Amino acid sequence: MQTLTLAAGCFWCLDAVYRRTRGVTDVTSGYTGGEVEDPDYYSVCAGITGHAEALQVTFDESVVPAEVILGQFFTGHDPTSLNRQGNDVGTQYRSAMFYRDEDERARFAAAIEHAQELFDQPIVTTLEPLGTFYPAEEVHQDFYTRNPYNGYCTYIIDPKLARARAGFAEWMS
């Protein structure tokens, strides 16, 4: 099993995509990249902790290659938008990849370089060392499945899921 820690704006979006990807065994929404211990949703959203809304995705590489997980990351948000995704604005919504070691940092850098071919604007996704990852409150775990008719899910997540299914059909359930 391999675990990657990624931030792509609101964690609900990629959470929904990865939970529907074959070979993914666990997805945890949370916070990382900040200076405050034990942050909560409200302090992170207020932009006072330095954390990003992020997630940890654990997957079996014998079922789904890491390149698919990383491809979904880049197509699941706008990596050319600095510190915002749609109406969500602030460093807590930054596009970031949190690496555990230099090998993972190099893998992430190569993924950014590869993904840049898909975008006209420069990718602004940051590479940051992984510090402490704090799981988000239970209400944020698997939000889409538990709230499919929520307006955010209908207008923001549904189109992202449709793009993921179109681009990665053989990997999606």
Q: Determine phi and psi for 136, rounding to 5 degrees.
A: -75, 170
Torsion angle defined by CA atoms of residues 89, 93, 44 and 162, in that order, rounded to the nearest 10 degrees: 110
- For residue 21, give the DSSP letter: B
Angstrom distance (rounded) from CA 96 to CA 125: 5
Q: Out of 10, 13, 45, 153, which one is annotated catalytic? A: 10
- For residue 155, give the DSSP letter: I
Q: Are 108 and 99 in contact (CB under 8 A)?
A: yes
Q: Specify whether 10 is catalytic.
A: yes
Amino acid at 99: Y
Angstrom distance (rounded) from CA 140 to CA 103: 30
Residue entry with tokens 């402490």: 132
Q: What are the start-end ranges of the H helices in the chain?
A: 11-18, 41-45, 66-75, 102-115, 143-146, 151-152, 158-167
Catalytic residue set = 10
